[in-house]
Structure 1
Amino acid sequence: MANTFSQIYIQYVFAVKYRQNLLQKAWRDEVFKYMSGIINEKGQKPIIVNGVEDHVHVFVGLKPTMCIADLIRDVKNNSSKFINEQGFVKDKFYWQEGYGAFSYSHSAIENVYNYILNQEEHHRKQTFRKEYLDLLNKFEIDYDERYLFDLLE
């Protein structure tokens, strides 16, 4: 639409089904690049995609014509298909149902980027459960423990 301008930055966080440690370092970057490609194909701006063995952070610049839920649905569906077609895992690969989506201002881009970039180092000190609950609490998101990811430690 003419004369429509926006700056919308969303960080998605989602996990491997049952929080299994299936995203192996040997091929993880290939999957993250594939996810970035999906985001590009949808006309959105991938800022960074990174994660560890059991979960992923995707930070995007989103245009208002793209629904938050539609983008992450496509990223998850297409990337799980890619992982399965490449034979990266022995059994069938699935992402866990659901995700977190957190919005940021333009001034926060560098901090969020660096946070996502350093996920391996970050998770030497903090569990995914604590990280995820901290995000929910920081953004004052009401949640029901029954509907969180399977956060088995």
Structure 2
Amino acid sequence: MSYVRIWVHLVFSTKNRHPYLTKNIRYKVQNHIIENCKQKSIFLQVINGYTEHMHCLISLGREQTIAKVAQLIKGESSFWINKNMLTKTPFMWQDDYFAVSVSESGLQAVTSYIKNQEIHHAKKSFDFEVKEFVDKYGFTLEKEDI
């Protein structure tokens, strides 16, 4: 019997970081993503976000990849948002995303960070948060990335 426990902090934004995800829409989208993940056997520990992005803490299954899970979450939720006309203009997620591994010892801190997105973004913008990720994890961004 295989045992796999790989935690991933996944972050993705709306196309051009447009602030589509008002509170009302964001909660509907989050609840839909939770249900979609259950149907697709994606273990989603926590999800939350702000007006232009989402954070997910997921545990990959033994046959799942980050790319496939991100595609299933983003693609299906985008389709659902448009089908239900939650936004006035067609909704899209940015093509790229940010994903980093999370150790077992870091789960509580990441869970708390994700749950407190509204408080967090009352103090700093998503652009600043992305810059912090870039500095912390040492990657470069193109303008159209997360």
Counterpart pick for 2:54 among 50, 53, 56: 56
1:118-133 correspondence to structure 2 within 5 Å: 118-133=116-131
Q: Residue in 2 aligned with 1:27?
A: 25
Distance 1:147 1:94 in 2: 13
Pair 1:87 & 2:103 matched: no
How far the C-alpha of 1:144 sits from its partner, in A, is: 4.0
Q: Residue in 2 aligned with 1:68?
A: 66
Counterpart pick for 1:104 among 99, 102, 115: 102
Deviations 1:107-130 (A, max 9, x none): 111110110111011011111122
Task: Give percent identity, aligned residues only.
Answer: 30
| Letter of the 1:36 counterpart | I
Structure 2: which 5+ runs fail to align?
Answer: none
| Letter of the 2:135 counterpart | N
How far the C-alpha of 1:147 sits from its partner, in A, is: 5.2
Distance 1:51 1:18 in 2: 16
Pair 1:148 & 2:145 matched: yes
Counterpart pick for 2:35 among 31, 34, 37: 37
Pair 1:137 & 2:140 matched: no
Q: Residue in 2 aligned with 1:47?
A: 45
Relative to the length of structure 1, the TM-score reads 0.88
Deviations 1:89-123 (A, max 9, x none): 11111111100001101111111011011101101
- Tell me if the contact between 1:7 and 1:106 (Cα under 8 Å) persists in the aligned partners: no
Relative to the length of structure 2, the TM-score reads 0.92
Distance 1:33 1:21 in 2: 18
| Letter of the 1:37 counterpart | E
Distance 2:73 2:88 in 1: 21
- Tell me if the contact between 2:94 and 2:145 (Cα under 8 Å) persists in the aligned partners: no
- Tell me if the contact between 2:95 and 2:145 (Cα under 8 Å) persists in the aligned partners: no
